[in-house]
Amino acid sequence: MADVSFRNPRHPVVGVHTMRLKELYRRTAGTQQPARHRVPVHLLALLTAGRASFTVDFATYPCRPGGLLWVRPGQFVGFPPPGVDATLVLFEPEFPYEAAAVGRSAIEGGPAASRVIGTYWQPTGEDEEAIVDGVSQLEIDYSRIVSGDDIPLEVLRHHLAALLLRVARLEPEGGPGLAAADSEVLLRFRHAVDERFARTRQVEEYARTLGCSVRTLTRASLSATGRTAKQLVDDRVALEAKRLLAESDLAVAEVGARLGFSEATNFGRFFARTVGSSPGQFRAESRRLAAEAHEASAAAPPAQPLKSALAKAGAARTRASS
């Protein structure tokens, strides 16, 4: 995994950063491709040139110009090799909240929130124009701030909050089945698991922390996902194990230790039961598939840049002003 900083060293406290994928390629020059990164912040990628597959936590998303990818903090993203381009918007989880409280609802969910579900969208028509316009304006104003223009940060916050609200209205690729909203108790359970999965896999402990019963957690989990609360905990541990096995050179025993397993054999049995293969087999297969994906992407001819969407967006602005 390449050691890449997504932050702007000249403006580390801005809270949002835009860059082009080509710039990221330049930063990772000399590293083995395809480079994968564990993103510490939210990342939106608007593909502007080429067709290629991105990966997010081992799921593959074939993207084409105009497509929008959202990577959440802590997830692994695998970028395709050079030949494509995208505008990347990276932002701290807290950044848009001061401008619009609804921005928090759109990202994290809440009792009355419309939670953003999905990883990849392919908007069309006016939605595509609005998304392209929103990302472009955010990129322009960010560049002006970095250049020293006197533009308040609140402008960037409002741009980003508006963009997130537009994304919240879209149906993700994969159909409406992805848009089943979690209950409040399940959202709290998911957050607790994210914070403590390496320390405990006991549903009873999570229930005590959340002030509810194991039965309540299990019922909420089954209703929203078709899986029990225990299975959701194990899924989260298995996901982290897959990340570490695929993206690091840590010994299998060390991976298990980081996830709370005192014995390597116990970790091996857990992984085989949950994932369906041994840790070593998974690591070898993951690296083989990554190499094949790189070769396939490198052989594919690049498509034309996103000229049509930008032209349509400009035409729409002209009509509105006339």
Q: Give a yes or no: residue 306 inside a domain.
A: no
Assess if residue 312 is contained within a domain: no
Task: Indicate which CATH number applies to the domain containing 207.
Answer: 1.10.10.60
Which own/partner contact pairs does 241-245 have at CB distance under 8 Å and 24+ positions apart?
A: 241/267, 241/271, 241/275, 241/279, 242/57, 242/58, 242/275, 242/282, 242/286, 243/38, 243/57, 243/76, 245/279, 245/282, 245/283, 245/286
Q: Are residues 194 and 70 in the same domain?
A: no
Q: Is residue 237 in some structural domain?
A: yes
- Give the pLDDT confidence score for residue 67 in this predicted structure: 92
Identify whether residues 167 and 189 lie together within a single domain. Answer: no
pTM for this entry: 0.73
224 located within any domain: yes
Q: What percent of the chain has pLDDT above 90?
A: 37
Q: Which domain holds residue 204?
A: 184-291
- The answer to whether residue 5 sits within a structural domain is no
Claim to verify: residue 233 and residue 261 sit in the same structural domain? yes
Shared domain for 95 and 111, answered yes or no, is yes
For residues 20 and 124, membership in a common domain is answered with: yes
Q: What is the pLDDT of residue 272?
A: 96
pLDDT of residue 8: 54
The count of domains in the chain is: 2
| 238 has pLDDT over 80 | yes
Q: What is the mean pLDDT of residues 136-149?
A: 89
